Amino acid sequence: MQSWTEIKNIENPTEEQQLEAIKLNWYAISLIQNPTETVQKAAFEKNEQAILYVKCGPCEALKQALNAMDETKFLAAFKAEPNLLKFITNPALLKVAVSQDWRIVRKIEGASDELWAEAVRQSPDALNFVHNAGEKVLVAAVERDWKYIQEIEIPTAAVVVAAVKQDYHAFEYVSIRRRTEPVQLAAVRTDWRCIQYLQRASEKVQMEAVKASKDALKLIKNPTPAVKEFCA
């Protein structure tokens, strides 16, 4: 075979002939009507884009090989050919793709909370397209801008902690009725200064604050005798 294009003129080419064409040029896969699994793998090994040109659709082995790529190699391949995404099911590789362009998450059917969180880390605009944002997404949102805590009706302890880590003032914007004891404890353990925003902190919460810093006593409204004694 002098040229890889000759394969299209051969009726029912043998596997050996198919491989010969692929050896000359991986793109020959696009001219073969029913390439065998071995032929598909041979083309894929030369260039991952071959998976897009298998006329009868790629075999499962090829899809598995694509999803088994390490992140660095996949990133290079994805940058060269974004359409590879259509065959990606590996969560780690999907995350790599979203990290390059957050808008990609909108093309992923049933995108996970983790993928949307990655999209939010890349751009706050992603929040405009999230429906029923989960905890991971909300954590990513307040990590970008703690003031987003004001938009969250029922923040979990993890979300409050993420916001307080950015700025302890964030706790002031958590609705009083949403400041359950677990949320209060999470907040003061993250930054004891949050205690100043609690009107009736339990002894347990007060103690967590002063254990972090006895200076917290000055910020506690109606400290209990045990808390005062601890700070004496």
Question: What is the residue extent of each domain of the chain?
Answer: 1-68, 145-232
Sequence-distant (6+) residues with CB within 8 A of 203 are 224, 226, 227
pLDDT at 175: 92
Model confidence, pTM: 0.82
Non-local CB neighbours of 64 within 8 Å, separated by 6+ positions: none
What pLDDT, on the 0 to 100 scale, is given for residue 29? 97
Kindly report, residue by residue over 94-148, the tens digit of the pLDDT: 999 999 999 999 999 999 999 999 999 999 999 999 988 999 999 999 999 999 9
| Helices and strands, counts by H and E, the chain | 11, 0
Output the pLDDT for position 232: 86
Residue found under tokens 């996970």: 112
For residue 1, what pLDDT is reported?
Answer: 74
Measured over the CA atoms of residue 98, residue 104, residue 106 and residue 109, the dihedral's sign is negative
| Residues of the chain falling short of pLDDT 50 | none
- Would you state the pLDDT for residue 132? 87
In this structure, how many other beta carbons lie within 10 angstroms of the beta carbon of residue 116?
Answer: 26
78 near 55, Cβ under 8 Å?
A: no
